[in-house]
Amino acid sequence: MVLERIDYPKDLKSLNISELKTLAHEIRTLIIDTMSKNGGHLASNLGMIEISLALHYVFDTPIDKLIFDTSHQAYTHKIVTGRKKHFHTIRKYKGLSGFVSPNESPYDHFYAGHAGTGLSLSLGLAKSRDLRGQKEHVLTLLSDAPLSCGLTFEALNNISSSLGRFIIILNDNAMAISNGVGNLHTQILGRFTLPRQTRKEAKAFFQQFGVRYKEPVDGHDIGALIAAFEEAKDKEYPILIHALTVKGHGMTRAVEDPITYHGVSPFDPQSGQIHPTPPKSTFPKVFGKHLLKMADKDHSITAITPAMPRGSCLDAFMEKHPERCLDVGIAEGHAVTFAAGLAYGGHHKVVVSIYATFFQRALDNLFQDVCLQNLPIIFALDRAGLSPADGTTHHGIFDISFLYAMPDMIITQPRNGDLLKDLLESAFSWKRPVAIRYPNLACEETDRDQTYRPLAVGEILAEGEDIVLIALGPMYRTALEVRKILQQNGIQATVVDPIFLKPLDKALFLDLLETHTHFVTIEEHAVTSGLGMIINSFLTEHSKKAIKVQNFGLPDRFLEHGDYTSLIQEAGLSCEKIASEILLNFTREEITIPYEDRALS
């Protein structure tokens, strides 16, 4: 096998074209085999193999800087940059990240989980290089629709026509995670055999930014790619190489259904058939199904997603009501401000479905265009909490902090599917911006009718006289298990689901302050800026007696990837760990409001 001889990019340089083709086949087999066990980003990586090999063959990485814009397609890069022996651990706890990670290798320069950052980072690197008088190449790999992201255009606008040894590789597979959207996609990108007029349009488009455009090359022809990179290598102007690829190349099922096979769960490596899993309700599925039910009855309901229709479970809505379910591409800021314009005047009920980690990219739009205008838009924040296999760049664990800073913003989190449906039905009546957070986890759901939820009303799930356990969303299950352990030790706990983080149910918590002196918060969010912060502030303001407070949440550091149970255990959020910490502190007299993760200290 050729792959057995390859550990680092220098090993590629002795191979001939025939051996490189064999290597590409072997890597394709390795990726399919590994993803069949681990799950992961499959189709995009199968389309990137030849480009990755050709880049490392021609250039001298890591001296020459290879910058990924969206790095879920960096598997081949990882395999040939010293991580082949550990590739079987990818996306596993304590294993390789599914994205580029500077902690892993000097060949990885920036974390890159979100699209649109690559070109700006590369321009900064090139400026630093030129100021130092160095000569290394800066290579930007654009893939999976970064040209639908405004930050890419801001970077294009700042490229100097005299910027040398600066090469942009556009991996054009005609898609993002789902099908590409927008004018640029329909006019220039996504055609494997580009007609002469389209090539002319593409050339004119990029050259207006001072970037020389090289006519499309077959992104699976490694010889043609090497020739194109060698030709562009030492040019004293910026150049874009347009590589046309097929998402899922080399695996029939992935080519036929690149959306499903973009990110896969384990499957049969021979047939490609994804292993069946028992059907279950999850928060995203409940959201998508119920929003469609609401939209069928109320034609003023409109949904917006920034390139996540499948992940957010809006695909059925989009198919049935395409004029009212809108994918705006990888453009989170535009999605939020567009929603503001759509909601203005009150003619439409607007729901923006967006992953919690991606919502961070639209903070100013939320502030200026929604909250300042007090527009009653519902933000359905999917993946709020840990995103286990994706890890650091994708955990939705910081959103409460910036949402809470917005005046008149309503923040709520349901503990189960029924409550999620109640909140969706009720939210427009509150006449303010609303964020409904929920994780990508299984949840309980029944066929009961929906109940109107008044604003800022929480619930007591169990009563006790000794201690209050305040649990956010699905963490109520953990709180109930902690309650059982405490009962076995003679301590009776009240369990509270606040439902609303802002505004808080003040009447409920004032009553609890009258009868309890020990409060515990439990959340799957950064402990420094979520539920614990909110409850601590409330208790500090309103308590007239000595109280004890313990906060359990995710530690104040960036968390890696892994399976959900391992990450929860590492963070000290298992019911056993929480109960033991409470028992250690229950008899102490001092007030304790910790902001560090004591379970990890």
DSSP string, 361-415: GGHHHIIIIIITTT---EEEEETBB--TTT-TTT-B-SHHHHHHTSTT-EEE--S
Q: Is the dihedral of CA 218, 223, 225, 230 positive or negative?
A: negative
How much is the average pLDDT of 73-93? 98
What residues have CB less than 8 Å from 86, skipping those under 6 apart? 95, 96
How much is the average pLDDT of 104-119? 94
Task: Determine if the peptide bond prior to 279 is cis (ω within 30°).
Answer: no
Instruction: Let me know: does 2 contact 14? Beta carbons within 8 Å.
Output: no
* Whether the predicted pLDDT of 131 surpasses 70: yes
How much is the average pLDDT of 35-63? 97
pLDDT attached to residue 589 = 46
For 298, the token pair is: 């109320």
**Exposure pattern of 54-65 as b/e (b: 16+ CB <10 Å)?**
bbbbbbebbebb
Query: pLDDT: is 577 or 184 the higher one?
Result: 577
What is the CB neighbour count within 10 angstroms for residue 347? 10
Instruction: Let me know: does 355 contact 308? Beta carbons within 8 Å.
Output: yes
How buried is 131 (Cβ within 10 angstroms: 0-12 exposed, 13-18 middle, 19+ buried)? exposed
User: What are residue 430's DSSP bridge partners?
Assistant: none
pLDDT attached to residue 393 = 95
Instruction: Let me know: does 337 contact 376? Beta carbons within 8 Å.
Output: no
Q: What span, in angstroms and rounded, lies between the C-alpha atoms of 405 and 403?
A: 5
Query: pLDDT: is 485 or 143 the higher one?
Result: 485
What residues have CB less than 8 Å from 48, skipping those under 6 apart? 73, 74, 75, 76, 143, 171, 245
pLDDT attached to residue 183 = 67
What residue type is 67 in one-letter code?
Answer: I
Query: What one-character-per-residue DSSP string does 530-598 give?
Result: SHHHHHHHHHHHH--S--EEEEEEE-SS------HHHHHHHTT-SHHHHHHHHHHHTT--S-----S-G
Instruction: Let me know: does 39 contact 265? Beta carbons within 8 Å.
Output: yes
How much is the average pLDDT of 443-453? 96
pLDDT attached to residue 174 = 77
For 479, the token pair is: 């709180």
User: What are residue 351's DSSP bridge partners?
Assistant: 303, 378
Which of 27, 69, 65 has its CA nearest to residue 47? 27
**For the chain, what is the mean pLDDT?**
93
Q: Report the SS3 class of residue 120.
A: helix
How much is the average pLDDT of 179-208? 69
For 487, the token pair is: 């009962």
What is the CB neighbour count within 10 angstroms for residue 373? 13
Q: What span, in angstroms and rounded, lies between the C-alpha atoms of 42 and 505?
A: 45
Q: Residue 71: which pLDDT band, with cuts at 50, 70 and 90?
A: very high
Which of 485, 508, 412, 489 has its CA nearest to residue 453? 412
Q: What span, in angstroms and rounded, lies between the C-alpha atoms of 432 and 235?
A: 55
Q: What span, in angstroms and rounded, lies between the C-alpha atoms of 73 and 99?
A: 8
Q: Residue 314: which pLDDT band, with cuts at 50, 70 and 90?
A: very high
Lowest mean pLDDT among 117-131, 258-272, 554-568, 580-594: 580-594
pLDDT attached to residue 593 = 39
Q: What span, in angstroms and rounded, lies between the C-alpha atoms of 302 and 380?
A: 13
Lowest mean pLDDT among 56-60, 129-133, 147-151, 587-591: 587-591
**Exposure pattern of 16-25 as b/e (b: 16+ CB <10 Å)?**
eeeebbebbe
* Whether the predicted pLDDT of 598 surpasses 90: no
Residue-range domain boundaries for the chain? 3-256, 283-437, 459-600
Instruction: Let me know: does 325 contact 287? Beta carbons within 8 Å.
Output: no
Q: What span, in angstroms and rounded, lies between the C-alpha atoms of 577 and 597?
A: 12
% of residues, the chain, pLDDT over 90: 88
User: What are residue 275's DSSP bridge partners?
Assistant: none
Q: What span, in angstroms and rounded, lies between the C-alpha atoms of 255 and 229?
A: 26
For 480, the token pair is: 């109930």
Instruction: Let me know: does 31 contact 75? Beta carbons within 8 Å.
Output: yes
Fold for the domain defined by 459-600: Rossmann fold (3.40.50)
pLDDT attached to residue 319 = 97
Q: What span, in angstroms and rounded, lies between the C-alpha atoms of 593 and 24?
A: 55
Instruction: Let me know: does 206 contact 180? Beta carbons within 8 Å.
Output: no
What residue type is 115 in one-letter code?
Answer: A
Q: Report the SS3 class of residue 168.
A: strand
Q: What is the CATH number of domain 283-437?
A: 3.40.50.970
What is the CB neighbour count within 10 angstroms for residue 132? 9
C-alpha 552 chain-centroid distance: 24
pLDDT attached to residue 185 = 60
* Whether the predicted pLDDT of 148 surpasses 90: no
pLDDT attached to residue 562 = 97
How much is the average pLDDT of 220-228? 98
pLDDT attached to residue 187 = 60
User: CA distances (Å), 341 to each of 108, 347, 349, 502, in order?
Assistant: 40, 11, 12, 25
* Whether the predicted pLDDT of 560 surpasses 90: yes
* Cα R_g (the chain), whole angstroms: 26
pLDDT attached to residue 592 = 41
* Whether the predicted pLDDT of 486 surpasses 80: yes
Q: What span, in angstroms and rounded, lies between the C-alpha atoms of 110 and 121?
A: 8
Question: To the nearest 5 percent, what fractions of the chain are helix, strand and coil?
Answer: 40, 15, 40
C-alpha 502 chain-centroid distance: 24
* Greatest C-alpha distance within the chain: 80
pLDDT attached to residue 194 = 57
Q: For the segment 335-384, what is each residue's pLDDT rounded down to a tens digit?
A: 999 999 999 999 999 999 999 999 999 999 999 999 999 999 999 999 99
Q: Report the SS3 class of residue 9.
A: helix
Element (H, E) at 169: strand 166-172
Q: For the segment 250-278, what is each residue's pLDDT rounded down to a tens digit?
A: 999 999 999 899 999 999 999 999 998 88
For 464, the token pair is: 């006790």
How much is the average pLDDT of 586-594? 49
- Catalytic annotation, residues: 247, 332, 361
Same fold, 3-256 and 283-437: yes
Q: Identify the CATH homologous superfamily for domain 3-256.
A: Thiamin diphosphate (ThDP)-binding fold, Pyr/PP domains (3.40.50.970)
Q: What span, in angstroms and rounded, lies between the C-alpha atoms of 339 and 345?
A: 12
How much is the average pLDDT of 231-236? 95
pTM for this entry: 0.93
Q: Residue 232: which pLDDT band, with cuts at 50, 70 and 90?
A: very high
pLDDT attached to residue 114 = 87
